[in-house]
C-alpha cells in the first residue's frame, strides 16, 4: 500500500499568509548568514539542513488522503479541499478519458471533509464512476445539499459522472473486501455528530485513518480490552489538533491533543504515528514546535518503537 496526504488542516482551509511567508524568508536568510552560505552549488545541501518548518509548508488544505493498493487502484478517504489537487493528478490517467473508477470513504460530513468534492475535476467527466462508502444513511442527500443552489452553481446530480452509494453497517461493522486481499474495517469515534475511523489491511500491513476524534484517557484504556481495532498498525494517522492546555479548554469539541495522540500511539504499539488535522490558527513554526514537544513527551513515557511524524501535504508512506 502507498498512502499520500493531500490535505492535513482541520476545520477550515488555511493559506500561507504574507506575514508567515516573510517570517520564513527572514529565518532562512538568518540561517544562511550563520552558516556562511556563499556558494550556489551548496544551496540544496543547506536547505536539507534547515528545520522542517523552513524546508516545507505543512499545508493549508483540509482533510484528504489517498491509498493506492498493491495492484495500483486508488482509494480516497474524505473530500476536503485536498481533493482538488488530487483530482488534477487523477485527470492525467483514466479519469481524464472518462474511464476512471474511484472509491471514497467518508469519515463524517462536516464541511472540512466534504467541501473539496465540488472542485474535484473527475466528477464532471462522463464515464467516470464514483463509489461512496459511508456509515451515514443520507450520504447522497448530504452531498447534494452542499452542491446545490444557492451554495454552488454546479448541481451535484447534474454532473455527468456516475455515483454509487454503499451504506456501511454500523451495528455489525462487517469487514468489507476490496480486490483479493485488501480488507477494510471501520470504527466509531467520539466526535460531534459522529465520525468513523477506517482500517485497511493488505500484504500483512495495516493502515488506520482516525481523525476528528476526541481520544481521552478512558477511551485509551478501553482499546485493547474491548477491541483490538487500533493495535499494532504500521501506520496510524490520528487527530492531534490541540496542545494539551487547549484541549482542556475545548472538551467535547471532538479533537485530541498531540500529547494524548502520542499516548495512544505508544500504548497501541503503532510503528508510524502521524499527527494531523492541524489547528487553522497554528503557523508552521507552531506546528514544528508541537512536533518537537510530542517527541519529547514520547521519551517521557518511554517510547521506544513509535516514530512520531507531523503530517504535511505531499507526504507519502509506503507499506
Model confidence over 97-120: pLDDT tens digits? 999 999 999 999 999 999 999 999
In whole angstroms, give the CA distance from residue 114 to residue 80: 5
pLDDT averaged over the chain?
A: 95
What pLDDT digit, counting tens, does each position of 30-40 carry? 999 999 999 99
At 157 the pLDDT is 95
In whole angstroms, give the CA distance from residue 52 to residue 100: 36
Q: Do 6 and 63 contact (CB within 8 A), yes or no?
A: no
C-alpha cell at 299: 521519551
pLDDT beyond 90 at 180: no
* Sheet arrangement for strand 195-202: 176-178, 182-189, 195-202, 205-210, 235-239, 272-276, 307-310
At 138 the pLDDT is 96
pLDDT beyond 80 at 224: no
- How far, in Å, are 33, 43, 49, 90, 154 from residue 38 at the CA level? 9, 9, 15, 41, 53
SS3 label, residue 184: strand
The pTM of this model reads: 0.95
Q: Quickly tell me which residue has 551548496 as its cell.
A: 42
Q: How confident is the model at residue 220 (pLDDT cuts 50, 70, 90)?
A: confident
Residues 252-280: what's their mean pLDDT? 96
Q: How confident is the model at residue 217 (pLDDT cuts 50, 70, 90)?
A: confident
In whole angstroms, give the CA distance from residue 194 to residue 137: 13
In whole angstroms, give the CA distance from residue 256 to residue 97: 42
Residues 246-266: what's their mean pLDDT? 94
**Which of the two residues, 222 and 142, has the higher pLDDT score?**
142
In whole angstroms, give the CA distance from residue 122 to residue 108: 22
pLDDT beyond 70 at 225: no
At 226 the pLDDT is 62
Domain ranges in the chain are: 2-13+57-318, 18-55
Q: Quickly tell me which residue has 498493491 as its cell.
A: 70
C-alpha cell at 225: 480490552
Q: Which of 168-177, 247-256, 310-319 has the highest mean pLDDT?
A: 310-319
- How far, in Å, are 5, 164, 179 from residue 68 at the CA level? 12, 20, 12
C-alpha cell at 112: 472540512
In whole angstroms, give the CA distance from residue 89 to residue 93: 8
In whole angstroms, give the CA distance from residue 229 to residue 226: 9
Cis preceding linkage at 262, omega within 30:
no
2-13+57-318, which class in CATH?
A: alpha beta
pLDDT beyond 90 at 278: yes
Amino acid at each position: 500500500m502507498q498512502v499520500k496526504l493531500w490535505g492535513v488542516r482541520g476545520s477550515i482551509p488555511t493559506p500561507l499568509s504574507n506575514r508567515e511567508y516573510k517570517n520564513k524568508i527572514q529565518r532562512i536568510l538568518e540561517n544562511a548568514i550563520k552558516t556562511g552560505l556563499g556558494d550556489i552549488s551548496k544551496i540544496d545541501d543547506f536547505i536539507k539542513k534547515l528545520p522542517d518548518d523552513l524546508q516545507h509548508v505543512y499545508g493549508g488544505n483540509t482533510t484528504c488522503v489517498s491509498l493506492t493498493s498493491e495492484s495500483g487502484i486508488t482509494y480516497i478517504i474524505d473530500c476536503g479541499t485536498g481533493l482538488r489537487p488530487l483530482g488534477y493528478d487523477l485527470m492525467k490517467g483514466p479519469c481524464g478519458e472518462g474511464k476512471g473508477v474511484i472509491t471514497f470513504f467518508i469519515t463524517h460530513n462536516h464541511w472540512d471533509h466534504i467541501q473539496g468534492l465540488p472542485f474535484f475535476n473527475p466528477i464532471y467527466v462522463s464515464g467516470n464512476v464514483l463509489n461512496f462508502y459511508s456509515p451515514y444513511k443520507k450520504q447522497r442527500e448530504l452531498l447534494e445539499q452542499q452542491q446545490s443552489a444557492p451554495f454552488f452553481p454546479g448541481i451535484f446530480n447534474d454532473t455527468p459522472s456516475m455515483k454509487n452509494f454503499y451504506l456501511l453497517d454500523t451495528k455489525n461493522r462487517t469487514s468489507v473486501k476490496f480486490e483479493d486481499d485488501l480488507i477494510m474495517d471501520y470504527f466509531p469515534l467520539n466526535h460531534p455528530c459522529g465520525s468513523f475511523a477506517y482500517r485497511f489491511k493488505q500484504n500483512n500491513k495495516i493502515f488506520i485513518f482516525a481523525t476528528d476524534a476526541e481520544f481521552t484517557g478512558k477511551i485509551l484504556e478501553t482499546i485493547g480490552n474491548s477491541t483490538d481495532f487500533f493495535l499494532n498498525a504500521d501506520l496510524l494517522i490520528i487527530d492531534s489538533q490541540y496542545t494539551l492546555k487547549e484541549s482542556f479548554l475545548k472538551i467535547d469539541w471532538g479533537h485530541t491533543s498531540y500529547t494524548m495522540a502520542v499516548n495512544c500511539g505508544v500504548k497501541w504499539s503503532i510503528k508510524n504515528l502521524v499527527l494531523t488535522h492541524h489547528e487553522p490558527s497554528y503557523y508552521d513554526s507552531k506546528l514544528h514546535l508541537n512536533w518537537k514537544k510530542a517527541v519529547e513527551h514520547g521519551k517521557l513515557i518511554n517510547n521506544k518503537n513509535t516514530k512520531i511524524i507531523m503530517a504535511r501535504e505531499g507526504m507519502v508512506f509506503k507499506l
